[in-house]
Amino acid sequence: MQGNSVGPVTDAAGLLRAYDDQARPAEWTVPDPEATVDRDGPVFRVSWPRRRGFVAGPPDLGIEGPALDELIARQRDFFSARDQSVEWKTWGHDTPADLPDRLLRAGFESDGRETVLIGLAEDMVTPVDLDGIVLRETRDEADIRLAGAASSEAFGKDVSYLTDYLIDKRDDPDTVIVVAEAEGQIVSSARLEIVPGTEFGGLWGGSTLQQWRGRGIYRALIAHRAEVALARGLKYLQVDASEDSRPILERLGFVKVTTTTGYLWKRS
């Protein structure tokens, strides 16, 4: 059985502890096979041959001031030497509290703040009438490319890097890709990423073309992935939510536990 708890916790503080103990470290402890993970002091640096890098650490980095500035500069310079961009992921309850300011001074840029919400998988399996819209799981490259193009249109920005990511992950049994199809086209997509060795599954995506919003697709995608999560023995579903999706998730019973902000350093 995954995790150590007897039953699911439901209060925000307990959910945050479970998240910090289980799901968060998986960002650097269970990367995909192409990734290389290096530790530099309190942080973990994840690099891939063809994707931007990733840096994160525990809730308390344990260093501050000039030592923290030096740590930030080393990560930036590592990826600069590889001619790659990098994301440093932060959380709102972390210390030292001035880490975001120091990242900005080092040349990183905020990619926007999202809210981390956690819900019980068993509470999210609710039927949704989609009136002719069909949900299906896929590992087909053509589907993934169509879904990626729809996501770029839905987000209003190029997210083609997600297409490459999902093509790399399509044979991973812990990644479940779901698309919503209507009138012969993919109008929405999302994925469940099971965090191995934990009670958590991450819900990612959920972008829907403008003309298809308001029809329950987002809720149906959550319910479908919750069913999969339960079948795999998971207790918790975690989302990094935009302000568009946060109210929907809270109405469904997801609980806010913290915020998260990615800081990007982009190669020149």
What does DSSP assign to residue 95?
Answer: B
Number of domains in the chain: 2
Strand, coil or helix: 61: coil
pLDDT band at 263 (very low <50, low <70, confident <90, very high): very high
The confidence score (pLDDT) of residue 79 equals: 97
Does any domain span residue 34?
Answer: yes
Q: What angle do CA 101, 107, 112 make, to 5 degrees?
A: 60
Average pLDDT score over residue span 195-212: 94
Question: Are residues 188 and 146 part of one domain?
Answer: yes
Average pLDDT score over residue span 124-138: 94
Given a cut of 60, whether residue 4 has pLDDT beyond it is: no
Given a cut of 80, whether residue 268 has pLDDT beyond it is: no
Does any domain span residue 9?
Answer: no
pLDDT, tens digit, for every residue of 35-89?
A: 899 999 999 999 988 889 999 999 999 999 999 999 999 999 999 999 999 999 9
pTM: 0.89
Question: Are residues 146 and 102 part of one domain?
Answer: no
Question: Are residues 126 and 108 part of one domain?
Answer: no
pLDDT band at 23 (very low <50, low <70, confident <90, very high): very high
Does any domain span residue 266?
Answer: no
The domain boundary residue, chosen from 84, 114, 144: 114
Given a cut of 50, whether residue 1 has pLDDT beyond it is: no
| Backbone φ/ψ region at 171: left (φ over 0), alpha (ψ -120 to 50), beta | alpha
Question: Are residues 80 and 145 part of one domain?
Answer: no
CATH of residue 229's domain is 3.40.630.30
Question: Are residues 236 and 181 part of one domain?
Answer: yes
E strand segments, 132-211: 134-137, 175-182, 185-194, 200-208
CA atoms of 111 and 263, how far apart (whole Å): 6
Does any domain span residue 267?
Answer: no
pLDDT, tens digit, for every residue of 168-180?
A: 889 999 999 999 9
Does residue 239 contact residue 109 with C-beta atoms inside 8 Å? Answer: no
Question: Are residues 242 and 163 part of one domain?
Answer: yes
Average pLDDT score over residue span 132-156: 95
Given a cut of 70, whether residue 2 has pLDDT beyond it is: no
Mean pLDDT of the chain: 93
pLDDT, tens digit, for every residue of 225-236?
A: 999 999 999 999
Average pLDDT score over residue span 187-211: 95
- Per the structure, the complete domain to which residue 136 belongs is given by 119-259
